[in-house]
Structure 1
Amino acid sequence: MDFTKPETVLNLQNIRDELVKMENSIIFKFIERSNFPTCPSIYDPKHSNLSIPNFEGSFLDWAILQLEIAHSQLRRFESPDETPFFPDKILKPILPSIEYPQILAKYSSEVNYNNKIKRIYIDEIVPLISKYSGDQAENFGSVATRDIELLQSLSRRIHFGKFVAEAKFQNNVELYTDLIKRKDVDGIMKNITNSAVEEKILERLTTKAEVYGVDPTDKEGERKITPEYLVKIYKEIVIPITKEVEVEYLLRRLE
């Protein structure tokens, strides 16, 4: 997929292929995170031992912000498929800007679900994939690093819904224009939903979790990620929030 060529980005098959690649990355990041306990202290903005001078937020928030400040100067967030967690804090790139063609609507950066993604990740996903509940102070930095990698991967995957929405809009402008004018949220949701594709995603995830989730050379090895948990995360969190992104994007498409 080449973001300098809109015709490759707004091809639904290319988008689906890209989403499949993201699955592999996300699964392996889940496996990496499963080596550690929940470590709730790094998510607590009031934790006395992890407070950051002149910063309001958790240790994880501070770590995300520092990384985004650095990456923004490397022009990471100029790419249309990247969505920052702290959009009002990032800096201008040091590298020369890349003149990407206008693929998405100009308001697309305002469709930002990262706060919701982070909250659900901490509240629902971390307890599912962690080794056990509790802190492990010597690994706070490692856990925060793994969390950031996962949050960025989940964010990219979910916000790719904007490309799905734009592709579907351009494939049937008349239908979506009518739905948008009538603010028919249910109608938009019905038309963006492809149950057959979603079922294939869940089937594929089940197979991948069975293969990747345990060391094949160790028959007694501990399973790092179970198919049930992976399917639950996608079915109840990733896919629904992706469709929320699509709906919000489409509702503003006629601006």
Structure 2
Amino acid sequence: MYFTRPETVLNLQNIRNELVRMEDTIIFKFIERSHFATCPSVYKEQHPGLTIPNFEGSFLNWVLLNLEITQSRIRRFESPDETPFFPDKIQKSFLPSVNYPQILAPYAPEVNYNDKIKDVYIEKIIPLISRKDGDDSNNFGSVATSDIECLQSLSRRIHFGKFVAEAKFQSDIPLYTKLIKDKDVERIMENITNSAVEEKILERLTKKAEVYGVDPTNKKGEKRITPEYLVKIYKEIVIPITKEVEVEYLLRRLED
């Protein structure tokens, strides 16, 4: 996706192609996470076995915060498709800024669902993709690292809904202007929903999980991630939250 060329970014087919590529990234990140136990201690604040000096949050939050500070220093969050989990903690980069054209509305960075994504990931996704329940103190660092890769991939995919929303707004400005003025959330949701496309996504995910989810060297054919779980994650979490992002973005679209 070339963010310096707005005409390509707001092309719905280009957006869908990008979302398809993100599926592969998310699947493989889930597969990496599936090698570990659930490790609930990684997500508990002030856990006795994971005491962090001068920090009150969880081990995961500490690792994620410090990683985002470093990533912000090398311009990661200047890219319009990246949304930080700690927007109030990121720092200015020492690298020259990239001159991205204004593709999304100025308030777009404020549409941030990362807290919800992280909570749902910990509460609902981790139990589905983990190898087993329980802690494994030898792998706390590896678990947090893998979690962050999963979270950032999910965040990018879900917040790409802002580009979808902008593209749909531009495709029928009179319609969306009326719906936004009327604050007609129900009809906005109807117009951004494409059931046929959603079904194709779920069908494609099923096929990918059947192929990617099996280690060909494993004679037992054990799955690292099952099609049922992957479809459940997309159907009940990824797609609905993406549409929440789209609706919130559109409801503010006339602010300028």
Same fold, TM-score > 0.5, yes or no: yes
1:147 & 1:221 partners in 2: Cα distance?
25
1:8 is aligned to 2:33: no
1:118 is aligned to 2:134: no
Gaps of 5+ in 2: none
2:221 & 2:197 partners in 1: Cα distance?
33
Q: 2:234 maps to which residue?
A: 234
Q: Give the secondary-structure state (helix, strand or coil) at the position aligned to 1:90.
A: coil
Q: 1:246 maps to which residue?
A: 246
Q: 1:207 maps to which residue?
A: 207
The TM-score, its normalising length taken from structure 1, stands at: 0.99
1:167 is aligned to 2:167: yes
The TM-score, its normalising length taken from structure 2, stands at: 0.99
| 1:185 CA drift (Å) | 0.3
1:14 & 1:219 partners in 2: Cα distance?
39
Amino acid at match of 1:135: D
Q: 1:23 maps to which residue?
A: 23
Q: 1:153 maps to which residue?
A: 153
Q: Describe the superposition over 1:33-68 as per-residue Cα deviations: whole angstroms up to 9, x where unpaired.
A: 000000000100020121211112100000000100
Q: Give the secondary-structure state (helix, strand or coil) at the position aligned to 1:97.
A: coil
1:47 & 1:171 partners in 2: Cα distance?
50
5 Å-filtered alignment, 1:56-205, equals: 56-205=56-205
1:227 & 1:158 partners in 2: Cα distance?
20
Amino acid at match of 1:35: H
Q: Which moved more, 1:218-227 or 1:68-77?
A: 218-227
Give every structure 1 segment of 4 or more consecutive aligned residues whose post-TM-superposition deviation is greater than 2 Å.
216-219
Q: Give the secondary-structure state (helix, strand or coil) at the position aligned to 2:199.
A: helix
CA RMSD of aligned residues (A): 0.6
1:118 & 1:139 partners in 2: Cα distance?
20
Q: Give the secondary-structure state (helix, strand or coil) at the position aligned to 2:80.
A: coil
1:224 & 1:109 partners in 2: Cα distance?
35
1:214 & 1:47 partners in 2: Cα distance?
35
Amino acid at match of 2:161: G
2:57 & 2:6 partners in 1: Cα distance?
38
Amino acid at match of 2:165: A
Amino acid at match of 1:143: V
5 Å-filtered alignment, 1:42-53, equals: 42-53=42-53
Aligned residues: 255
Q: Give the secondary-structure state (helix, strand or coil) at the position aligned to 2:87.
A: coil
Q: Which moved more, 1:15-24 or 1:49-58?
A: 49-58
| 1:221 CA drift (Å) | 3.2
2:227 & 2:219 partners in 1: Cα distance?
17
Q: Give the secondary-structure state (helix, strand or coil) at the position aligned to 2:106.
A: coil
Amino acid at match of 1:113: Y
| 1:222 CA drift (Å) | 1.9
2:126 & 2:94 partners in 1: Cα distance?
35
Gaps of 5+ in 1: none
| 1:225 CA drift (Å) | 0.3
Amino acid at match of 2:61: D
Amino acid at match of 2:51: S
Q: Describe the superposition over 1:97-150 as per-residue Cα deviations: whole angstroms up to 9, x where unpaired.
A: 011000000000000000000000000000000001100000000000000000
Amino acid at match of 2:177: T
